[in-house]
Amino acid sequence: MNTEESVTLQNIHKAALQEFLDKGYRDASLRNIVRAAGVTTGAFYGYYSNKAALFTALVEPHAAAVMGMFMRTQTDFAALPDAEQPDHMGIDSGACLDEMIDYIYEHFDTFKLVICCSEGTAYADFIHEMVEVEVEYTFRYIDVLRRLGKTVPDIDRQLAHILTSAMFEGIFEIVRHDMPKERARQYVATLREFNVAGWQKIMGQ
């Protein structure tokens, strides 16, 4: 890609980011994006096939990066020997959340798109996908506790989903409310402590 093409692409991305932030994906106008970028419609189609492809280009690298951090933490925790997992309960997730917050605040406008402006795209399910993974690994951890001889009451999966949804929706309130980073870090840390203590109570630990 030559310099002129690179500048054109940057202009398209800048215009698209603002249009999506202002109106959300569903109501954003490709015509407005093209006009604001100062390019022709034909030039735009030299880069992207449609509005969805453009939104994906803006969002996917960063959504994938945060999801990758989350998944790595889940799989690393599950790979620990059973006997070590209870001592790591809540600790590894805290480090992951700190890492996620740092990344989100480096790319804040992009995460506004994911959390607030993605209705009509696959990214509208971003939080839900995290919740589903968290619920699955929660029940794997319950199995670990039982293998260790600990008594854990039966936990309704739907209840687990509701509680986990509340946690993750709460975490991403920092984006919805444009919370300053240090306040967000404190907020999420408190929310995590509350969540860990609640799960320990529910699990009888």
Q: Are residues 111 and 148 in the same domain?
A: yes
Residue 82 CB neighbour total at 10 angstroms: 13
The Cβ-side half-sphere exposure at 68, using a 13 Å CA radius, reads: 8
Q: Are residues 195 and 126 in the same domain?
A: yes
Considering just the CA atoms, what is the radius of gyration of the chain in Å?
Answer: 20
Q: What is the pLDDT of residues 150-198, one digit of tens each?
A: 999 999 999 999 999 999 999 999 999 999 999 999 999 999 999 989 9
Tokens of 14: 């800048």
pLDDT category, 85, cuts 50, 70, 90? Answer: very high
Domain count for the chain, please give it. Answer: 2
Residue whose structure tokens are 């480090």: 95
Residue 110 one-letter amino acid: T
Q: What mean pLDDT is reported for the chain?
A: 94
Helix (H, G, I), strand (E, B) or coil at 68: helix
CATH code, 43: 1.10.10.60
